[in-house]
Amino acid sequence: MRLNHGIHLGYCTNIHRGETWTETFSALRTHTDAVRRRVSPDRPYGIGLRLSAGAAEELAARPEERDAFRRWLDETDSYVFTINGFPYGAFHGTRVKEQVFAPDWSRPERLDYTKRLFDLIDEIAPAGLEASVSTLPGSFKEFLRPETADGQREAIRRNLRACAEHIERLGERSGRDLHLGLEPEPLGLFENSEETVAFFDDLTAGTTAEERERLLRHLGVNYDTCHLAVEFEEPGAAIGALRAAGLRISKVHLSSALTLRPTPEAVARLGEFQEGVYFHQVLVAESGRVSRRFKDLPDALDWHGAHPEEAGEEWRVHFHVPLHTSPESCFGDTRDHLTGLLALYAAEPGWCRHFEFETYTWEVLPPSLRARDVVDQLVAEYGWCLGELARHGLA
């Protein structure tokens, strides 16, 4: 939906199962339209679409399906303004974990998939509307092996530059502002603001000022408030560093992480959040500074069992928890990072226009946090987000 200062707000449809286009379209008609009717019955409704590689290939190859999708968008007064192109393959009901980073940007499959997403959104989005795609932060740190890391990094740079050229050609043809947002994530190739700036400096090394400006017009940052909060960053410092480096904030993911003081009770209860589908990196801090990183939640719990005296002061867990409700008493969340970003934006609006919330973990949340039907849950997420946006004069 369209809000103040040109903001478009939607939820990411990666919350729903669907790896084929048929499954994806069914979820849109069943769930997304039910949410639309409740939160935006009288004004255009923005959709943050998730397309797997298979669904994107299927949709690209079948013009009749694209026509049917556009008719449905018109009939429901809906529009697509952004696509989540981070998860390439299956995203529900099977082990995803670190494979969500595969194929990474060193692989031609990732480039081809992302170019296809831009081709599709350029055709599907309303004429003249700014459109974005989000993607992974280049790779996963563990994917870069010492003996091949230099070649992998060069392939990542080469493929991202090729994608930017494709985006530029599309935009010149359609007159549309198109941009790709790379999403820092814990243990990604770049995971915090400092590493993000360094990555983009490396990406643009050797370019002229004009070439750098053209590249950064189409390649920017997808700022996930859960991810940067897990890194113990503050929004003012993080956004300030990214913008001072000349980086575009392509999209903001409104999301919240799980936090806890690692008391025996809290760590024991944290075991309820273990599940076999998604990656839940854990960062430990002393006096607000990161002192230890764990690849996944079971690693952190095992380590704590052996070293409880070294638990640290605070744990932050990459587990997207609902925005509209607080976790149980021994846990906290990082919604203050999100609201801090909104306050920052309200003081100087305009540096990003795509906002999307993405509580994709709904199926694997402990029962106490997913007592509602998914449509009710999403309506409640809209209620919280719109309330906070309005509180800051943004809706």
> Is the residue at 272 inside a domain?
no
In the predicted structure, residue 48 carries a pLDDT above the cut 90: yes
Q: Residue 78: how many CB atoms within 10 A of its CB?
A: 19
Here the CATH number for the domain that contains residue 363 is: 3.20.20.150
Picking from 91-95, 150-154, 223-227, 283-287, which range would have the lowest pLDDT averaged per residue? 91-95
Give me 328's structure tokens.
Answer: 């149980």
In the predicted structure, residue 373 carries a pLDDT above the cut 80: yes
Element (H, E) at 71: helix 63-75
> Is the residue at 41 inside a domain?
yes
> Whole-angstrom Cα distance, residue 115 to residue 212?
20
> Is the residue at 327 inside a domain?
no
> Whole-angstrom Cα distance, residue 19 to residue 91?
8
Give me 228's structure tokens.
Answer: 């940067």
Share of the chain above pLDDT 90, in %: 94
Q: Residue 108: how many CB atoms within 10 A of its CB?
A: 12
For the chain, the domain total comes to 1
> Whole-angstrom Cα distance, residue 272 to residue 319?
12
Task: Give phi and psi for 58, each to the nearest 5.
Answer: -65, -45
Element (H, E) at 196: helix 193-203
In the predicted structure, residue 167 carries a pLDDT above the cut 80: yes
Mean pLDDT of 346-350: 98
In the predicted structure, residue 75 carries a pLDDT above the cut 80: yes
| Average pLDDT of the residues of the chain | 96
Spell out the alpha helix ranges (H) of 245-307. 264-270, 297-306
Quick one: pLDDT at residue 329? 79
Give me 236's structure tokens.
Answer: 């003012």
- 158 confidence band (pLDDT: 50, 70, 90): very high
Do 339 and 234 contact (CB within 8 A), yes or no? no
> Is the residue at 383 inside a domain?
yes
> Whole-angstrom Cα distance, residue 125 to residue 176?
10
Task: Give phi and psi for 360, each to the nearest 5.
Answer: -70, -10
Give me 320's structure tokens.
Answer: 């997207």
CA angle 363, 368, 370 (to 5 degrees): 30
Quick one: pLDDT at residue 19? 94
Going 103 to 106 to 110 to 112, the CA torsion angle's sign is negative
Quick one: pLDDT at residue 91? 86
Do 180 and 168 contact (CB within 8 A), yes or no? no
> Is the residue at 212 inside a domain?
yes
Q: Which residues pair with 10 in a beta bridge?
A: 356
Going 285 to 290 to 295 to 296, the CA torsion angle's sign is positive
- Name the residue among 344, 323, 226, 243 with its Cα closest to residue 283: 226
This prediction has a pTM of 0.97
> Is the residue at 168 inside a domain?
yes
> Is the residue at 150 inside a domain?
yes
Please report, for residues 27, 79, 361, the alpha-carbon distance to residue 74 in angstroms, rounded to integers and kept in the order given: 17, 8, 30
> Is the residue at 280 inside a domain?
no
For residue 69, the enclosing domain spans: 4-255+334-391
> Whole-angstrom Cα distance, residue 247 to residue 217?
8
Give me 363's structure tokens.
Answer: 């199926």
